[in-house]
Amino acid sequence: MSQLVARTALRALLVRVGGNCNIVVMPVSAASVVKSSEEITKQPMRIHGFGDFEIESKHVQGNFNLKWRRMSSAMENKDENKEENPTVETVKKGQNGGDSVAVPSYWGIEKAKMKITRKDGSDWPWNSFKPWETYHADLSIDLKKHHVPKNIADKIAYWTVKLLRIPTDMFFQRRYGCRAMMLETVAAVPGMVGGMLLHLKSIRRFEHSGGWIKALLEEAENERMHLMTMMELVKPVWHERLLVMLVQGVFFNCFFICYVVSPRLAHRIVGYLEEEAIHSYTEFLKDIDDGKIENVAAPAIAIDYWRLPKDAKLKDVVTVIRADEAHHRDVNHFASDIRNQGKELREAPAPIGYH
């Protein structure tokens, strides 16, 4: 293997020199090339800014092999072909990754997968998100901010949300765990629809989005994480699952049409929905304080996602989710305000990076 890498590296070097006369060739031995690549892969790879986590670079070996291989992709080599014969490996999935699964190893995906540990040395168990996607929620955010309806679109949005609240209140009453879980299935839709439509617009018009695609998709993902957290606390029964399917089918299509017709109205509706979400989570917290809902231990996924202390409770989780909702409220009212001025979203930089 080391001979192969050395030969490949030298060939690539010669090819590059032939194509570019400005390159200065330094005497270098094949052995030193191999040694340096091995040394690099043995070095611990640290990701700065995430002090609680460490990534072991030995698991990145596959990347280096791929790099060398790409440089000599036109060159036939029997040894290399032999290496690419597919073998099957059993990959153990993490806590949220389901059962073990047999996969052909030659794609290099699992080899390239980085091993991530927490500060205490325990394995990072989540496949669905990584440490650099976790964050501290902004608990200083103003929870009482309200957009006073100013024009026809605002009023339509405001009263649409007020009307939607009536059946929700009737159905769930004060069962806030169940209510939160069901509402998060809806809340994760608008960001995805808006992000998707802006994505299509961007590639259709050959123009940047100003970061808004990312901001809206971040919102959708954040809402989905709220749902994944709630799923640890409340298990939906079959008729609730059926209701989710029906509501998703109706809401997705209605919101899609609304966004195509009037992004200003669509964002305003989401802004008011988020105001209602803040109200619901505030009531949730009141019931926890009054002892009507047991303040159980926070799910492990929530502790990692919001960087909560290990002894965090349900109240801490609801508090950070409420702060997220306040952020979504501000993002969507902001977006609606931009459209209200007759401007495109991309004309105002998107608030990305909160999540």
Task: Please work out, in degrees rounded to the nearest 5, the angle formed at the alpha carbon of residue 111 by the alpha carbons of 121 and 45.
Answer: 45
Select the span of 22-30, 68-76, 181-189, 205-213 touching Fe ion (CB under 5 A): 181-189
Q: Which is nearer to Fe ion, 327 or 346 (CB)?
A: 327
Q: Minimum Å distance from CB 313 to Fe ion? A: 19
Q: Minimum Å distance from CB 316 to Fe ion? A: 16
Q: Which is nearer to Fe ion, 328 or 333 (CB)?
A: 328
Select the span of 28-36, 162-170, 186-194, 260-268 touching Fe ion (CB under 5 A): 186-194
The strand pairing partners of 89, in sequence order, are: 103
**249 Cβ partners below 8 Å, 6+ apart?**
none
- Does 187 bind Fe ion (CB under 5 A)? Our answer is yes
Task: Please work out, in degrees rounded to the nearest 5, the angle formed at the alpha carbon of residue 338 by the alpha carbons of 247 and 343.
Answer: 110
- Dihedrals phi, psi of 258, to nearest 5 degrees: -60, -40
Q: Minimum Å distance from CB 33 to Fe ion? A: 51
Residues 285, 313: Cα–Cα separation, whole Å: 12
Of residues 244-263, which lie at the interface with Fe ion (CB under 5 A)?
none
- The string of DSSP letters for 312-348 reads -BHHHHHHHHHHHHHHHHHHHHHHHHHHHTT--GGGS
- Does 328 bind Fe ion (CB under 5 A)? Our answer is yes
Q: Minimum Å distance from CB 200 to Fe ion? A: 23
Among 69, 224, 226, 267, binds Fe ion (CB under 5 A): 226
Among 320, 325, 326, 331, binds Fe ion (CB under 5 A): 325
- Does 223 bind Fe ion (CB under 5 A)? Our answer is yes
DSSP letter (8 states) at residue 298: P
Select the span of 85-93, 121-129, 180-188, 203-211 touching Fe ion (CB under 5 A): 180-188
- Does 179 bind Fe ion (CB under 5 A)? Our answer is no
Select the span of 113-121, 146-154, 155-163, 327-335 touching Fe ion (CB under 5 A): 327-335
Q: Which is nearer to Fe ion, 187 or 318 (CB)?
A: 187
Contact 133, 127 (CB under 8 A): no
Residue with tokens 């765990």: 177
Residues 3, 63: Cα–Cα separation, whole Å: 18
Select from 273, 180, 284 the least CA-distant residue to 227: 180
Q: Which is nearer to Fe ion, 328 or 339 (CB)?
A: 328
- Which residues of the chain form contacts with Fe ion (CB under 5 A)? 184, 187, 223, 226, 274, 325, 328
